[in-house]
Copies of this chain bind each other. A is one copy, B any other.
Amino acid sequence: MRFPTPLASVAALCAATLFNPVRAAEGTAADEKMLRAIYTAALTNGPAYEHLRELTTKYPGRLAGSKNLEGAVQWGEALLKATGADRTELQPAMVPHWERGAKESIAIVGGVKLTAVALGGSVPTPAGGLRAPVVEVQSLAALKTTDVKGKIVFFNRPMNPEYINPGLSYRDAGDQRNQGPGEAAKYGAVGALVRSLTHAHDDVPHTGATTYPPDGPKIPAAALSTIAADNLSAALKLDSSLTVEMTINSRWFEDAPSHNVIGELRGSEHPEQIIVVGGHLDAWDIAPGAHDDGSGVVQSIEVMRLLKAAGYQPRHTLRVVLFTNEENGTRGATAYSTAVQEKKEQHLFALETDNGGFQPRGFNLGNPAGNAARRAARWRGLFEPYGIYSFSDGVGGTDVHPLLAQGTTVAGLTPDSQRYFDIHHTTEDSIDKVNPRELELGAAAMASLIYLVDQYGL
């Protein structure tokens, strides 16, 4: 998951949904039986965890423009075929291509090394590195009242622990990483260091995209581990004139070809009407990408397998989409929604899973009428035996969000997120942090929701 985008205005959107079937048997024993069959198929010798092991072992660090991402594209298409897709497709998308180069190095001159990682999209330091005094700030607003000219700006506001959902803490602190370096550059700063976006207190630095205003200056930017950030802050209290040396060896290349991977089960009654389930194939260059979003990839494919294993033939076409380039460009999502518009495809529903493969608790949902969460909540009784109880308003996720503007009901799986930001965008986002049953329960919850939407609409 990258930095969440705000909900676009939906006032201008078409208010009618395409899909309003009336079927009689909703919520009966047949539905209970189908959910039980889906969960049993998921929990009994399901292959999702082994798929995740293969993806993260063979294709770690599958950032846009990398060989590993295109290897994962081939792997994903082959797996969709093996899972029984009637049709597969590689949908082209040109993606940004940024590489870290030789490992970055950040140190207090005459002092300790600071564990750090360049932010995705950062420009490099000058050859031979950059040395400058450091000034610590807690917010972007502080740039207006702080002399940062010729300095390295150190954004050190921790994530707020008071939110119950760490995603909200992440969003609140995220402006430092996302816009901080670009904003600091406007005020004459020569470099930026950003406290890692995590509640964890450890020496693991977290990367993620930073973006510069298109017409502004660009300065090199790195994230410090939370321990490194505390060390630097303490050192500044002792010596406010200390100097830091940064070396970042990143490089931008020409846009590179990539692909969304698509696999379909053709609908038995309305094959022209499409239900999407998807996650994103790419991952940060330093990360195995197990929770972000290998889990979503294998869960989306597992949804197809589970419906087949439960003996369910979808009425509408079920389309699994493995999006490319979610982390630093969302060109996959753009290519997908553009193609939907150009082909005038009817999309009923699009479910994304990009919040980690943790124990699922519910879904966030959005439609133009603003009542999708309320409508889905009518199935709460069916879901509660499986620990799914939360149906909240939302926009699905980065990759399906553009479809909302086209009238599609969008949704995102909501797993427990307390552990997510401990390992998000780091070398630690590895398969040992994923619990097989939690992964399987997430896929089963998704397949169950898709079964109900396919049967009764939303």
- A residues sitting closer than 8 Å to B (CB atoms) are 39-40, 43-44, 161-162, 164, 166, 199, 359, 361, 385-387, 389-390, 416, 418-419, 422, 435-438, 441
Could you list 13 examples of A-B contacts with CB < 8 Å? A39-B162, A40-B162, A43-B162, A161-B437, A164-B385, A166-B437, A387-B390, A389-B390, A418-B435, A418-B437, A418-B438, A419-B435, A419-B438
Task: Report the minimal beta-carbon distance from A377 to chain B, rounded to whole angstroms.
Answer: 12
How distant is A50 from chain B, measured CB to nearest CB, in Å?
Answer: 11
Q: In whole angstroms, what is the CA distance A409 to B241 when docked?
A: 62
CB-CB under 8 A from A161, the residues of chain B are 43-44, 437
Partner of A164, one of B44, B422, B435, B441: B441
User: Which residue from chain B places its CB closest to the CB of A43 in the assembled complex?
Assistant: B161
Which residues of the partner chain B approach A166 to less than 8 Å between Cβ atoms? 437
CB atoms of A386 and B164 under 8 A apart: yes
- Point out the residues of chain B lying under 8 angstroms from A386, CB to CB: 164
Residues of B close to A416: CB separation below 8 A? 359, 387, 416
For the complex formed, measure the closest distance between the CB of A225 and the CB atoms of chain B, giving whole angstroms: 16
Residue pair B418, A164 in contact (C-beta under 8 Å): no
Bound: A455/B138 CA distance, A: 41
Closest Cβ neighbor of A389 among chain B residues: B389
A423 CB to nearest B CB, Å: 11
Chain B residue with Cβ nearest A387? B164
A380: shortest Cβ distance to chain B, in Å?
Answer: 10
B441 near A418: Cβ-Cβ < 8 Å: yes
Q: Which of A166, A361, A387 has the most CB of B within 10 A?
A: A387
Contact B359–A418 (Cβ < 8 Å): yes
| A359: contacting residue among B43, B359, B435, CB under 8 A | B359
Q: Which residues of B contact A44 (CB under 8 A)?
A: 161-162
> What B residues does A40 contact at CB under 8 A?
162
Q: Which residues of B contact A43 (CB under 8 A)?
A: 161-162
* Other 13 A-B pairs with CB < 8 A, given A199-B436, A418-B435, A419-B438: A39-B164, A40-B162, A43-B162, A44-B161, A161-B437, A164-B385, A164-B387, A164-B441, A199-B437, A359-B418, A418-B438, A418-B441, A419-B435
In the complex, what residues of B have CB within 8 A of residue A438's CB? 418-419
Nearest neighbor of A45 in chain B, beta-carbon distance:
B161
How far apart are A139's CB and chain B's nearest CB, in angstroms? 19
- Cβ–Cβ < 8 Å partners of A419 in chain B: 435, 438
Smallest distance from the beta carbon of A383 to chain B beta carbons, Å?
11
Chain B, residue nearest A161 (CB): B43
CB contacts (< 8 Å) of A162 on chain B: these are 39-40, 43-44
B residues near A435, Cβ cutoff 8 Å? 418-419, 422
Residues of B within 8 A of A199 (CB): 436-437
Q: Determine the residue in chain B with the shortest Cβ distance to A46.
A: B161
Cα of A251 to Cα of B199 in the assembled complex, Å: 46
Q: Chain B residues with Cβ under 8 A from A436's Cβ?
A: 199
A166, A436, A438 — most chain B CB neighbours (10 Å): A436
Residue of B nearest to A39 (CB): B164
Q: How far is the CB of A421 from chain B (nearest CB, A)?
A: 10
Q: Taking the nearest CB of chain B, how far is it from the CB of A234, in angstroms?
A: 17
Measured CB to CB, the nearest residue on chain B to A199 is B437
Max chain B C-beta neighbours (<10 A), residue from A39, A44, A418, A441:
A418
Task: Tell me how far the C-beta of A20 lies from the nearest C-beta in chain B, rounded to whole angstroms.
Answer: 30
Chain B residues positioned under 8 Å from A385 (CB to CB) = 164
Whether A387 and B359, one on each chain, are in contact in the complex, defined by CB atoms closer than 8 angstroms, is no
In the bound complex, what is the Cα–Cα distance between A437 and B199 (angstroms)? 9
| Cα distance A390–B389 in the bound complex, in angstroms | 9
CB distance from A14 to the nearest CB of B (A): 32
B-side contacts of A422, CB under 8 Å = 435
Q: Which residue of B lies closest to A417 (CB)?
A: B359
CB of A413, distance to nearest CB on chain B (Å): 15
A418 to chain B: which residues have CB within 8 Å? 359, 435, 437-438, 441
Top-4 shortest CB links A-B: A43-B161, A418-B437, A389-B389, A418-B438
Chain B residue nearest in CB terms to A40? B162
Cα–Cα, bound, A87→B230 (Å): 39
Give the distance in Å from the alpha carbon of A377 to the alpha carbon of B164 in the complex.
Answer: 21
Nearest opposing residue in chain B for A386, CB measure: B164
